[in-house]
Structure 1
Amino acid sequence: MKLYNANSGNTKRVRIFIAEKGIEIPRIELELGVGTRTAAFREINSLGEVPVLELDDGRIITESLAICRYLEAAYPEPPLMGRDAFEQGHIEMWSQRVFGQIFMTYGLLVRHSLSLFADVVDQVPEFAETQRKAIPEKWRWLDREMSDGRRFIAGDEFTMADVHGMTVLMIVDGIGHPIPEDCIHVNRWADTMRRRSSYAA
């Protein structure tokens, strides 16, 4: 296998997942917005997006969540997406919540404010500002949810929901707009995540 990689939130998600699984997958490094938009790369992924996982037989899987699902099935230990039906549903619920409520808020802010994405979307600076203003309350929502004392986002074990959360933390560390200081439960979780070896992946 090989992973087509660039400096994006979605590839960070896959790299964290791979590191937490303890597996080694060679990478082909591309420059975001340059190498990902060449005709040669579009032959691999017509959308010109990373990550892309190429299997040993040449088959291709794109989209970070699809890649993670493949790797979960191929390398079931440690389980990051649940062992039984309830765990799988519960972890997916929290993964979707973190992705939809927090990751996408940062993602839309980035896509509508950074020049890198100017030829990808019709940027609306006013919309970017609405996303920036929404960020603190998104974190406060998660902080209230985590006030029950759980160690991780979906409970007492590290899961895919935390992978989504760590991906957001990497964006925070890159562009700012940090977690509000009054979010004591989320900040405790964030400090723990930044100390995990996979955070450097």
Structure 2
Amino acid sequence: MKLYTAHRAPNPRRVLMFIHEKAITGIELVPVDLNAGEHKGAAYRALNPVATVPTLELPDGRCLSETRAICSYLEGLQPEPNLMGRDFAERAFIEMHDRRVEWYWLLPIANCVRHTHPGLATLERPQFADFGRSQGEKVRERARWLDEQLAEHPWMAGERFTIADITAFCALEFARGLMKFDAGAEGFARLQAWRERMAERESARVF
């Protein structure tokens, strides 16, 4: 299999961390240069017509895009350690938390960065600075929500580490790097403590 990925982008990192947590080997990593627009070229669009990363090319030539779909495939390929739920009920609740983190935490971070950071101007044309700043405000609102959630359980989806933690961590690290968002300095002590626990994981240090 081949995984088409991009350095430092949060969605490829989600898949890379998932692969590392699963100890899956034998996947060739193929870098895609986003700044050069390689993802919009004909060769890459033949694999993924919506021109996003990551994309997983299967041995039979079929291609999977969308982070959650790729991880679902890999979970089925190698069920242990389980990261997406052991029965239908747990799977549903883990997916709920994962999707909440993706849509209400990662997406505003990405919108803020894409519309305010000068280094992303080549990818987001035109940039809408006011929209980006408003998304940055939502990032802080959602950080408070996550901090409150972590008062109820130690991990994003409950009592154990799951894919929802990978999604949240990749989002937070993206915000730390390009928004200079510091959960501890912003007053979100539980979120910061969770981040420090996550940062100790080998999968977090590799990528």
Question: How many equivalent pairs are there?
Answer: 200
The question of 1:27 aligning with 2:29 is answered: yes
Deviates more, 1:121-130 or 1:11-20: 121-130
Counterpart of 1:78? Answer: 81
AA of the residue aligned to 1:142: L
- Residue 14 of structure 1 corresponds to 15
Q: Residue 37 and residue 77 in structure 1: after superposition, are their counterparts in 2 closer, same or farther (change >3 A)? A: same
Taking the TM superposition and a 5 Å limit, the aligned residue runs for 1:98-177 are 98-115=101-118, 116=120, 118=122, 120=124, 122-148=126-152, 150-175=153-178, 176-177=180-181
1:4 is paired with a residue of what secondary structure?
strand
Equivalent position amino acid for 2:42 in 1: A
User: TM-score with structure 1 length normalisation?
Assistant: 0.92
Are the equivalent residues in 2 in contact too, given 1:139–1:180 (CA < 8 A)?
no
Matched to 1:183, the amino acid is F
The equivalences for 1:20-99 within 5 A come to 20-24=21-25, 25-34=27-36, 35-99=38-102
The one of 182, 194, 199 equivalent to 2:199 is 194
- Cα offset, 1:143, TM superposition: 0.9
Deviation sequence 1:76-99 (CA, Å, 0-9, x none): 111111001111111011111111
TM-score, with normalisation over the residues of structure 2?
A: 0.90
- Secondary structure at 2:46 match in 1: helix
Write the distance in 2 (CA, Å) between the matches of 1:155 and 1:120.
36
Partner Cα distance (1:120, 1:56) in 2: 33
Contact 2:183 / 2:189 at 8 angstroms: preserved in 1? no
Residues 5 and 27 in structure 1, CA contact (< 8 A), matched pair in contact too: yes
- Is there any run of 5+ residues in structure 2 with no aligned partner, and where? none
Query: Which whole-Å CA distance do the structure 1 matches of 2:16 and 2:125 have between them?
Result: 26
Q: Which runs of 4+ in 1 moved over 6 A?
A: none
Q: Per-residue displacement from partner, 1:52-108 (whole Å, max 9, x unpaired)?
A: 101111111111111111111111111111001111111011111111221111011
Instruction: Give the letter for the 2:136 counterpart.
Output: R
Answer yes or no: is the 8 Å Cα contact 1:94–1:154 preserved in 2: yes
Residue 112 of structure 1 aligns to a residue whose secondary structure is helix
Q: State whether residues 3 and 53 of structure 1, in contact with CA within 8 Å, keep that contact through their aligned partners in structure 2.
A: yes
Ranges in structure 1 where 5+ consecutive residues have no aligned partner: none
Which of the numbers 185, 192, 201 marks the counterpart of 2:190?
Answer: 185
Identical columns (%): 36
